[in-house]
Amino acid sequence: MSSPRITSSMVHRGVLADLNEIATKVSRTQLKMSSGKEILRPSDDPFGAGRALSLRGELDGLQQYRRNASDAEGWTTATDSALGTIGDIAQRARELLLSGGTGTVAPAERLKVAGEIDQLIEAAKDTGNSNYAGRSLFGGTATGAKPYGPATDTYLGDGGDIVRSIGPGVAVVINARGSEVLGNGADGKLLNTLRDISAHLKGTAPTDDAALRSSDIVAIDRSIDNVLTVRARVGAVTNRVSAADTRLAELEENAHVLLSKTEDADMAATIVDYSMQQSVYQSALRAGAGIVQTSLLDFLR
């Protein structure tokens, strides 16, 4: 078979189609360079786009968990410091008990000591009413009100847990309730113990003396121990939250890297592509100009 006829319109259409195709590629690469994105629309890479969406969601989720963790850490740190203060108060009360509770102290002195214990009780209740960003630390989920009123030692909060979510399905209880630490004044916890000590110091009966020397010391030790236990628990939560935060930061970093790999353009490769396409485009233009211009007409007289 002889070679096909090549007609003028075939040449023209061919040149035009090639130029069009290269120009489309150049403009696409340009868009990639200016936006820095590999995926501008889902159809550029449907699977990649779906993946980018879920990675972005995951990233947002991780950032949110970190925010939650930082809030939880703030809460537990504030709780820890309040528990520290309460612990100090209990220690001071124990010292007062040991120095003022012996039989050698004069009754007037004992009243003074009792007065200081009363002050410590108020201080403990004030600390029990401390808040974090306007929310009561020790009131359970009744965060809007103070857990201890001025007149009574009754615990006014509830038994609810304050929960923060610091990972998918990971919820931690971050609060300590006043009822666990200070008690309600009648349950052998710190307030109850301090009130007893105060009453025994003020009293003159031999039983008071006996109580001051024996059962009160046992009770205050138990209360101190209780405060320490709660504080240790809160400290453990703080550690757990901060460990989770570190891990979340790593995960966030990973998700960033994956997301960037999925949807960001490889700049070096894109720029190389661009200059290559540019030179192809220019040579196509030159070749086209040459082909389109000449015909037999140019060489006939």
Partner 1 sequence: MPISTFMGLNTSLRGLLTEQRALDVTSHNIANANTEGYSRQEATRRPTDAMGVPAGQIGTGVDVTSYRRIRDSFLDLQFRAQNMQAGYGSARADALEQAEMRLAEPGENGISARLSSFWSSWSDLANTPESGAARAALIEDAQTLVSSINALDDGFETVQTQAAQQLELLTGDGGELEGMARELAGLNGAIADSQRNGAQPNDLLDRRDLLLDKLSQLAQVSVGDNGAGSIRVTLGGAAAPLVDGAAVTWPAPAMPTPGGRIGALMDVASPTGTVATYRNDLAGFAQALTTQVNAVYNPAAGTDFFAYDATTKTLSLNPAITTLSLKAGSGGAAGANDAAIAISELRGKAGTPDDVYGRLVTRIGTEVADARRTTVNATALSESIEDRRQSTSGVSLDEEMTNLIRFQRGYQAAARAMSTTDEMLETIINRMGRVGL
What residues make contact with partner 1 under the rule CB under 8 A?
4-10, 13-14, 17, 39, 41-47, 49-50, 52-54, 56-58, 60-61, 63-65, 67-68, 71, 133-135, 139-145, 158, 160, 162-165, 168-169, 171, 263, 295-297, 300
Q: How far is the CB of 9 from partner 1 (least distance, A)?
A: 5
Q: How far is the CB of 33 from partner 1 (least distance, A)?
A: 18
Q: How far is the CB of 236 from partner 1 (least distance, A)?
A: 21
Strand partners, 132: 135
Q: How far is the CB of 212 from partner 1 (least distance, A)?
A: 40
Question: Which CB, 54 or 91, lies closer to partner 1?
Answer: 54
Question: Which CB, 193 or 238, lies closer to partner 1?
Answer: 238
How many angstroms separate the CA atoms of 238 and 48, rounded? 39
How many angstroms separate the CA atoms of 88 and 184, rounded? 20
Question: Which CB, 206 or 298, lies closer to partner 1?
Answer: 298
Q: How far is the CB of 37 from partner 1 (least distance, A)?
A: 8
How many angstroms separate the CA atoms of 126 and 149, rounded? 9
Q: How far is the CB of 51 from partner 1 (least distance, A)?
A: 9
Question: Which CB, 52 or 120, lies closer to partner 1?
Answer: 52
Question: Which CB, 8 or 204, lies closer to partner 1?
Answer: 8
Question: Which CB, 79 or 226, lies closer to partner 1?
Answer: 79
Residue 270 neighbours by CB under 8 Å, 6+ apart: 29, 32, 33
Q: How far is the CB of 40 from partner 1 (least distance, A)?
A: 8
CB–CB of 171/71 below 8 Å? no
* Three-point CA angle 71, 84, 227, nearest 5°: 100
Question: Which CB, 48 or 203, lies closer to partner 1?
Answer: 48
